[in-house]
Homo-oligomer: A and B are copies of this chain.
């Protein structure tokens, strides 16, 4: 049994951006030497999330609009009395859940044909870290 940890860094150009990270996660799984187990992926921030879905630009736009409908930017959040202006980013991150776990079989991510992993940034334009921890049988 073995655990392997790496950290990814993202600094998006836009404040809100979906970044496709399946390949980076897959490379970490390969480097871990773990053949069978679980791969945990999570931002170390509270205004970003990880999600698994389709690599299709129309759907990615739909997801962004839908998150804005359900967790809109609004001046009147109480959190903004602290000087922040990003309460919506916290709510969007909660909606998508801040972490995901992925299965590893035969040394690879054991995902379905269309399952792709995304880093969902809701308050970017600065350096943010994502932890990837692989746990399993070497």
Which residues does A use to contact B, with CB under 8 Å?
Answer: 1-3, 5, 36-38, 40, 42-46, 51-54, 56-59, 61-63, 66, 70-71, 77-82, 87, 90-91, 93-103, 105, 110-115, 129, 131, 133, 135-137
Nearest-neighbor residue (CB-CB) of A71 within chain B:
B66
Q: Flag if B91 contacts A94 (CB, 8 Å).
A: no
Q: Flag if A94 contacts B61 (CB, 8 Å).
A: no
Total identical chains: 3
List B contacts of A129 (CB < 8 A): 112
Please, how many angstroms separate the alpha-carbon atoms of A102 and B98 in the complex?
Answer: 10
Q: Flag if A114 contacts B46 (CB, 8 Å).
A: yes
> Given B1, B40, B43, B90, which contacts A63 in the complex, CB threshold below 8 Å?
B90
Nearest-neighbor residue (CB-CB) of A69 within chain B:
B70
